[in-house]
Amino acid sequence: MEPFRIKAVEPIPMRTTEERQRILAEADYNIFRVHSADVTIDLLTDSGTTAMSSKQWAAMFLGDESYAWASSYERFERAVRELTGFPEVIPIHQGRAAERLLFTVLLRPGQITAANGHFDSTRANVEQVDCQAEDLPCPEAAELVSEASFKGNIDLGRLQKLLVGPDGEQVAVVILTVTNNGGGGQPVSLENIQGAREICRRYEIPLLLDASRFAENAYLIITREPGQQNRTPREVARAMFDLVDGCWASLKKDGMSNTGGLIALRDAKTAARCRELLTISEGFPTYGGLAGRDLEALAQGLQEVTDPAYLAHRADTAAWFAGALTKAGLPTLRPAGCHAVYADAGQLLPHIPPENFPGQALVCELYRLAGVRTTEFGTLAFGQDGGQAPNELVRLALPRRVYTRSHLEYVVDAVGDVVGRARELTGFTITGPQPPMRHFTVKLIPLQEGRDSP
């Protein structure tokens, strides 16, 4: 059962299938353009969608809204230092803003960042400073149905080869995204982080974590990595942070809050340069674009997120949901992580080629039939320079402490209906625009409708 009680409720919108068909057309078949008031079950993202606890809401009343050195910042700083061990703590309003600051400071045009998997905003921020983002996922990451425990690992052999090769001197930073969101929410093992640490130390390259889901990664280490079973999530999280030079995080995930982020570092000089840019663009370094009440909620959330009962429930829910979707006929990536279940739209819809976005076809049909909002993680979101993504996935994200199992059972029933109509679905073509991270704003039209248009 859920390890919490529900203290406040919110009505769920219900629309007819005909209404949702009209809404999709008006939104140019981009699910990001659909209003939340027209969504029944919203599995678009786990970012900023957390239901906060009574202690978090109570902490917000203690918010000190002083411009400089507010007591709320001091509580936030203390919470981050106790968790991570990093002396330099910089609050910021969300993760991609942290990426922008860090990469502006750490990178020079023409350099390379190597990672187990750059998420969309990470890659966009690397490319924004005229650098190259190189993904080095482990071989197991390509095996969607294998039960390998740590598909989020970086390929240490490929990392070593990159660093000794002709482009080695251009590698400025190595990044480990924990868990690897773009790669199916798969965890990174402590052994893999240690291996990356040794390589980075040898070549004097900083190793950073995108720690947005650090607690979930720590819990999966405990349940999957030999020798870690008797540790607490907080102990394993600290072991992860002890192996790296710094981190950034969107605290809209494992910060258990609706806004916020951080940069935490060992190097005082890098931190000082980040604070200089922060002051120009985000706000004074002790609030970083956040209200004092937000800092209070985050400080409390960073305590709650490492609760073993909460994490066990989250992992068990994801595993049950993935199994139920598979039984309904939807191929899913295995094993399930914590924050989402990833469906293999390419396998479900082999008649739709990648350039016509089978994942988007599944996303739109789930919304049309049942009002369930999900997001495409295939060629529309991750196709680079007109190419294809490695897999045509759809992410069904799980907002923290928001939906019960009966809500997810509704989603499973809807998926069964969509699976029964799979051969009837058609793909899409883009009508515009196509900026970086195009999936947020792109306009689409059903392929058959596009062919029939003059």
CATH topology of domain 17-39+307-452: Aspartate Aminotransferase, domain 1 (3.90.1150)
Q: Tell me, what amino acid is at 130?
A: D
CA-based end-to-end distance of the chain: 55
Q: Left if phi > 0, otherwise alpha if psi is -120 to 50, otherwise beta: which for 88?
A: beta
Confidence of residue 454 (pLDDT cuts 50, 70, 90): very low
Q: What is the mean pLDDT of residues 76-83?
A: 98
Closest CA to 243 of 271, 272, 218: 218
Decide the pairing of beta strands 132-135 and 112-115.
parallel
Query: Average pLDDT of 385-407?
Result: 93
Contacts of 11 (CB under 8 A, 6+ apart): none
- Find out whether 288 and 87 touch, Cβ atoms under 8 Å: no
Question: Which pLDDT score is estimated for 453?
Answer: 37
The predicted structure's pLDDT at residue 309: 97
- pLDDT tens, residue by residue, 11-36: 999 999 999 999 999 999 999 999 99
* Dist. CA 135–CA 192, nearest whole Å: 15
- Whether 113 and 159 have beta carbons less than 8 Å apart is answered as no
For the chain, the average pLDDT equals: 95
Q: What is the pLDDT of residues 212-265, one digit of tens each?
A: 999 999 999 999 999 999 999 999 999 999 999 999 999 999 999 999 999 999
The pLDDT assigned to 448 comes to: 76
28 sits in which H/E element: none
Containing 264, the helix (H) or strand (E) segment is strand 261-265
Query: Which residue bears the tokens 């949702």?
Result: 20
Tell me the mean pLDDT in the region 382-388.
79
Domain locations in the chain? Answer: 17-39+307-452, 54-304
State the chain's maximal CA–CA distance in angstroms: 66
Residues 6+ apart with CB under 8 A from 325: 332, 341, 343, 396, 411, 412, 415
Assign domain 54-304 to its CATH architecture. 3-Layer(aba) Sandwich (3.40)
Share of the chain above pLDDT 70, in %: 98
pLDDT of residue 284: 96
pLDDT grade for 449, boundaries at 50, 70 and 90: low
Return the exposure string of 202-218: e unless at least 16 CB atoms fall within 10 Å of the residue's CB, then b.
Answer: eeebbbbbbbbbbbbbb
Structural contact between residues 216 and 210, judged by C-beta atoms closer than 8 angstroms: no
pLDDT tens-digit map of 338-377: 999 999 999 999 999 999 999 999 999 999 999 999 999 9
Estimate the share of the chain in helix, then strand, then coil, as percent rounded to the nearest 5.
45, 15, 40
